Structure 1
Amino acid sequence: MKKVVFISLFTLLYFTVSRASSVDTALTYSAVMKKNIKAVVIKPDGYSVSQKYPVVYLLHGYGGHQDDWIKTAPVIKTLADIYKFIIVCPDGNVSSWYFDSPVDPAWKYETYVAVELVKYIDDKYSTIQDRSGRAITGLSMGGHGALYLAFRHQDTFGAAGSMSGGVDIRPFPLNWNIADRLGKYADQPKRWDDNTVINLTNLLTPNSLALIIDCGSEDFFYNVNTKLHTKLLDMNIPHEFISRPGGHTWEYWGNAIQYQSLFFDKFFKKAAN
């Protein structure tokens, strides 16, 4: 009996596209935090200043740094080549949750990513300097961060995604140093309510953002993601929701980023027409 081998679209693209993206480590400066912060910048094959490129901001998770994606899921270099966009992976510190912390003024990662970093990338690279050419996504803490920033900065980002995102932080009051950024949940419940993604959906209107949300069915964030999905359905907010068997793992995220990149490419092309 002959064995039938199925090859995915992404596998075919991986082996047929010339993988010649270039990787920079940019040293950016945050005026609001008064320090230098690194970011990995991936430019697609054939990058030229005569062309304007869309940008995908890709956020790491808790305990991570700017090198996590490029080292653990190097497929992102191929995705930059396939879709001809720039990918930016900033250092969000190990536990920023991408807030501007009301507790510690040294942690202002909302302002850094959504304002300072975007300006730096637009100044230094040949980008589409408009929300029609910007998307943001991330994993876990970064999935929370991507939706949090996109919901609050819709003038900056036109599309957003989340992979295994902590989209409601309130069920986890003792985890991942969130209390260090917001204060203890028992003492500051309003801060937690005001800074959790699922409570920011009031900022959305139908089609104000192109949204894609992905979470594995064995992930400890699965329940909060399905609740966000249901809430968006109830509000008639169009979005894509994907769930497959899988947990809170790089194997899952390495797969998820491929679907998210395809989604963002469709958004960029539609916005350009």
Structure 2
Amino acid sequence: MKRITLLIVLLWQVCLAFAQWGPQSKVESHTFHSKVLGSDREYTIYFPKSYAVEQDRKYPILYLLHGMSDTDKAWFWRGHAGEVMDQLVASGEAVEMIIVSPNAGGSFDEGHWNGYFDMPGWKYETFFYTEFLPYIESTYRIIGDKAHRAVAGLSMGGGGATSYGQKHTELFSSVYAISALMTIPQRGAAQPSKPGDKLAILTQSVIDNSCVKYVEEADDERKKQLRSVNWFVDCGDDDFLLDRNIEFFQAMRRLQIPCEFRVRDGGHTWEYFHSALYTCLPFVSRNFGKVIP
């Protein structure tokens, strides 16, 4: 009898503990085939705690872009984006959202392409808009409008996020650029070491898609479009890309396009990228559901 009573008590305690813990957030990695790129492409996706239990609920989404030579897993393995998201939701500083990071990189030594733009042999931007975004938003329970969609990224991904927000103001409510590769001066461009040099091709694509030049060349219609997005630029005072981020902010300021700009202590490191999430996730949360006229 004592053993039965003890077993009942233990089972009750387990049930209580489970009730206190409740559902947990999840981070998963998946693969699907891209016809545009002619290869299987990976992505890593974060689901908030309520996703598994609130079956009729749809969520805002943040597309979180990684940096050069990294992959879709970097933001979650090295940047701990899932853990930060859980902390901020628990504290009320961020709303529940889905976060997805697509793979646009890998080691150059292993022959991988890098970059978020269309370039010879790598039509990644076409892939993102014609395959990846539609696939994600039809596969998972996502609200799927401008007011509930944001894009952010670091370094190469920061420049990619900024450019995506510039070219597709109708799709994103906010853009958060971390230590962003906004442009590359022609004099600093990597020179091809051999035909098909992937680093040189990537470098030229950044020059061709300069985020600074896009602002500087804006006409009245483009200015209006850019003002419909909430912009935030975040770069360390020891970052080698700081001048490029300053140039972008100055271009936005000259055209009176609102853009928050923060220079914090730090360099081009994961310590800095990780810390930026504590500002990035509340920023995109505040702007979900809001449409700038």
Shorter-chain TM-score tier: 0.7 to 0.9
CA contact (8 A) 2:150 2:172 kept: yes
Q: Which moved more, 1:195-204 or 1:47-56?
A: 195-204
- 1:51-80: CA deviation from partner (whole Å, max 9, x where unpaired): 110000111101100110110121434415
CA contact (8 A) 2:173 2:290 kept: no
1:65 maps to a residue whose letter is T
* Map 1:3-82 → 2, pairs under 5 A: 20-47=24-51, 48-79=54-85, 82=89
CA contact (8 A) 1:28 1:120 kept: no
2:127 maps to a residue whose letter is Y
* 1:200 Cα deviation after fit: 1.4
CA contact (8 A) 2:228 2:291 kept: no
1:240–1:204 CA distance, 2 compared to 1 (3 A) = same
Greater C-alpha radius of gyration: 2
Which runs of at least 4 in structure 1 moved beyond 4 Å after TM superposition?
175-178
1:77–1:111 CA distance, 2 compared to 1 (3 A) = farther
Match of 1:215 in 2: 235
1:162 and 1:18 map into 2 onto residues whose CA distance is 34
1:231 and 1:79 map into 2 onto residues whose CA distance is 32
Give the SS at the match of 1:112.
Answer: helix
* 1:29 Cα deviation after fit: 2.6
> For structure 2, which runs of at least 5 residues remain unmatched after alignment?
1-20, 90-94, 107-112, 192-196
1:252–1:19 CA distance, 2 compared to 1 (3 A) = farther
CA contact (8 A) 2:118 2:124 kept: yes
Give the SS at the match of 1:169.
Answer: coil
2:28 and 2:189 map into 1 onto residues whose CA distance is 37
> For structure 1, which runs of at least 5 residues remain unmatched after alignment?
1-16, 184-190
* Map 1:147-158 → 2, pairs under 5 A: 147-158=162-173
* 1:269 Cα deviation after fit: 4.2
Matched, 1:96 2:117: no
Match of 2:270 in 1: 250
1:69–1:193 CA distance, 2 compared to 1 (3 A) = closer
CA contact (8 A) 2:184 2:203 kept: no
TM-score between both structures, scaled by the size of structure 1: 0.83
Give the SS at the match of 1:199.
Answer: helix
Matched, 1:195 2:201: no
- 1:23-52: CA deviation from partner (whole Å, max 9, x where unpaired): 121213322112210100100001133111
Alpha carbon RMSD of aligned pairs, Å? 2.4
Give the SS at the match of 2:286.
Answer: helix
CA contact (8 A) 2:45 2:98 kept: yes
**Percent identical residues:** 30
Q: Which moved more, 1:70-79 or 1:131-140?
A: 70-79
* 1:230 Cα deviation after fit: 0.8
* 1:142 Cα deviation after fit: 0.5
* 1:207 Cα deviation after fit: 2.4
Matched, 1:84 2:100: no
1:29 and 1:252 map into 2 onto residues whose CA distance is 33
Query: Aligned residues, how many?
Result: 246
Match of 1:166 in 2: 181
2:69 maps to a residue whose letter is G
Say which structure is richer in helix.
Answer: 2
* Map 1:124-143 → 2, pairs under 5 A: 124-143=139-158
CA contact (8 A) 2:84 2:278 kept: no
1:147 and 1:181 map into 2 onto residues whose CA distance is 16
* 1:20 Cα deviation after fit: 2.2
Match of 1:180 in 2: 201
Give the SS at the match of 2:64.
Answer: strand
2:48 maps to a residue whose letter is P
* 1:192 Cα deviation after fit: 5.9
TM-score between both structures, scaled by the size of structure 2: 0.77
CA contact (8 A) 1:59 1:90 kept: yes
Matched, 1:119 2:134: yes
Match of 2:247 in 1: 227
Give the SS at the match of 1:46.
Answer: helix
Give the SS at the match of 1:243.
Answer: strand
